[in-house]
Structure 1
Amino acid sequence: MTAKLALVTGAGSGIGKAIALGFAAQGDRVVAADIDGAAAEATAKERPELITALPVDVADRAQVDTLRDRTHAEVGVPNVVVNAAGWDRSHQFLDATTEFTEKVVAINYLGPVYVCSAFLPGMIEAGGGGRVINLASDAGRVGSAGETIYAGAKGGVIAFTKSLAREMARHHITVNCVCPGPTDTPLFAAMPEKLRDALIKAIPFRRLARPEEVAARCCSSLRMPRRSSLARWSVSAAALPWPDDKLPPIRSTEPGCVAVQRRARSARHGP
């Protein structure tokens, strides 16, 4: 599958920006959406012939609906949706305020829910199938001290992805989940230095993943054959993308749905 039009949230920086530019490098049209409109515009300026910038706060359902309406009217109906917007701050759980908790959950969990709810009806009506890629986190798979609320929200994204995949398969829309580990993004840079150092030391390669490495997984997923039985898969990219010829085999675990876990095992095994 080659995307005719990809919507990417969180496209103003970090992994979202790398994904937007990755799709454009493949010749795909892209809507780069971000709460920071100027940052989204900066992304679009790198490939102005292919990328359109639009503002959105994914935690605000009304803004998400406006994004959908503008995207449909000004660019078209996306057949690929990437939920890459995210936010967090390091907090011990008992120090987290209600305001902080609600913000983390709204951006990291409700954001993907709102975007999927707004854009999937148009994708279904178009009748050509499509792809949804949700950016979760390895924190949502294994937990992360100091990021308990964030980890819980990202764990919710993983479960949401698996469940939505079951519902969308009949429409030939696959729903996939990518779970990056520590990555060189502005979000990571905002963490306390001691926490950053500890996370890097836990990686055998002793370096962060680059946004472009995570983006490569997302963009290359469009080259996978789209089959009704391949509804969802999860990529855990903890430090580096694992070579394709070393990935574990696909294994069927559920009736009517093949679950694939592709793990970049550098965080646990090293070279």
Structure 2
Amino acid sequence: MFVTSFEFKPRGLSMPCGVCTLSRTVSRISLRGGSGIGRAICEKLASSGAQLIVADLNESVAKNTVNALPGNGHSSFQMDVCKSDDVNRLQHFIKSSGSTPSILVNCAGITKDSTLLKMSQKQWQDVIDVNLNSIFLMTQMIARESVSTQTPVSIVNVSSIVGKIGNFGQTNYSATKAGVIGFTKSAARELATKNIRVNAILPGFIRTPMTEAMPPKVLETMVSMVPQRRLGEPEEIANAVLFLASDMSSYVTGTTLEVTGGLGM
């Protein structure tokens, strides 16, 4: 799912326009625009005055999300985050709106967990495609558009704390999220002089429909690892996205913001 905001003017903030990629509809999604973190980001941006284009592999999910958002002027867009042709279609769709995006939030992510000894190449490649390649495609497209139109851009990439500390059964997911961190820092160095900021958020254990379905003992073990002794809320991730997307963070680039309750410090 993707979100593009064109008129982003929350009260008390100076916000540019933007694009936010949230997720692709695949089994075991880690970030889904229709619920959990992705939905919270959509609602936060929309409630702050954004006009959103919500795109997903599943068009009905995109439409349902749009219908639930506050404000007017939102629209849905069906696409596959992994395909360059679809990214180009999104670019044409954005141009046809007559607005130049100046926020990009890359949140696309899936998990296909397995131990290293049992993981198939398809499990590995699918996660690489969605979690990492999508960020390259979207960032390149928006950065080129920014340079062409001389529009300042703030890019926020959603990584994960497991990209820093690893996680059992997630060599593919952890590798992609570590890759997001490296990509963020390299892109920030390349694009800083072009008035493009690039930052990353590292969520920890967040309360989502997936965590709510976990056995109580598994959930207790997760919480015990967090210094604050609780799960994070999706809105807490959305708040961090809003900060990095806005002019409140105008002198921030190339940084990674951990939103983890202290996990990983």
Tell me whether the two structures share a fold, i.e. TM-score over 0.5: yes
For 2:226, the equivalent position in structure 1 comes to 203
CA distance in 2, matches of 1:225, 1:90: 35
Counterpart of 1:119 in structure 2: which amino acid? I
Compute the RMSD of aligned alpha carbons.
2.2
CA distance in 1, matches of 2:221, 2:83: 34
- 2:68 aligned with 1:68: no
Match of 1:223 among 247, 260, 265: 247
Give the secondary-structure state (helix, strand or coil) at the position aligned to 2:52: strand
1:32 Cα offset (Å) = 2.0
Q: Kindly, what percent of the aligned residue pairs are identical?
A: 27
- 2:186 aligned with 1:173: no
Q: Output aligned runs, 1:98-113, within 5 Å.
A: 98-113=121-136
| TM-score with structure 2 setting the length | 0.82
- 2:5 aligned with 1:4: no
CA distance in 2, matches of 1:132, 1:123: 11
Give the secondary-structure state (helix, strand or coil) at the position aligned to 2:117: helix
State whether residues 16 and 84 of structure 1, in contact with CA within 8 Å, keep that contact through their aligned partners in structure 2.
yes
Deviation readout 1:67-121 (Å, 9 max, x if unpaired) = 2221221363210011111000331111110111000110111111111122221
Unaligned runs of 5+ in 2: 1-13, 24-32
State whether residues 6 and 81 of structure 1, in contact with CA within 8 Å, keep that contact through their aligned partners in structure 2.
yes
For 1:34, the equivalent position in structure 2 comes to 56
1:237 Cα offset (Å) = 1.0
CA distance in 2, matches of 1:106, 1:200: 30
CA distance in 2, matches of 1:63, 1:232: 28
State whether residues 82 and 132 of structure 1, in contact with CA within 8 Å, keep that contact through their aligned partners in structure 2.
yes
State whether residues 55 and 67 of structure 1, in contact with CA within 8 Å, keep that contact through their aligned partners in structure 2.
no
Relative to structure 2, which stretch is displaced further, 101-110 or 54-63? 54-63
Q: Structure 1's 74 and 13: CA in aligned 2 closer, same or farther, altered over 3 A?
A: farther
State whether residues 176 and 232 of structure 1, in contact with CA within 8 Å, keep that contact through their aligned partners in structure 2.
yes
CA distance in 2, matches of 1:192, 1:167: 45
State whether residues 163 and 178 of structure 2, in contact with CA within 8 Å, keep that contact through their aligned partners in structure 1.
yes
Higher-RCO chain (CA-CA 8 Å, sequence separation at least 6): 2
For 1:23, the equivalent position in structure 2 comes to 45
CA distance in 1, matches of 2:78, 2:232: 27
CA distance in 2, matches of 1:187, 1:83: 21
CA distance in 1, matches of 2:210, 2:257: 20
1:175 Cα offset (Å) = 0.2
Counterpart of 2:16 in structure 1: which amino acid? A
Q: Output aligned runs, 1:1-271, within 5 Å.
A: 1-10=14-23, 11-45=33-67, 46-47=69-70, 49-74=72-97, 76-186=99-209, 188=211, 196-221=219-244, 222-227=246-251, 230-239=252-261, 265=262, 267=263
For 1:251, the equivalent position in structure 2 comes to none
Deviation readout 1:118-168 (Å, 9 max, x if unpaired) = 222112222131100000000001111111110011000000000000111
1:15 Cα offset (Å) = 1.8
Relative to structure 2, which stretch is displaced further, 48-57 or 193-202? 193-202
Q: Structure 1's 206 and 27: CA in aligned 2 closer, same or farther, altered over 3 A?
A: same
1:191 Cα offset (Å) = 6.9
Deviation readout 1:42-91 (Å, 9 max, x if unpaired) = 22112351422212221222212212221221363210011111000331
CA distance in 1, matches of 2:264, 2:138: 33
Count of residue correspondences: 241
| TM-score with structure 1 setting the length | 0.81
For 1:260, the equivalent position in structure 2 comes to none
1:24 Cα offset (Å) = 1.3
Unaligned runs of 5+ in 1: 240-264
CA distance in 2, matches of 1:187, 1:201: 18
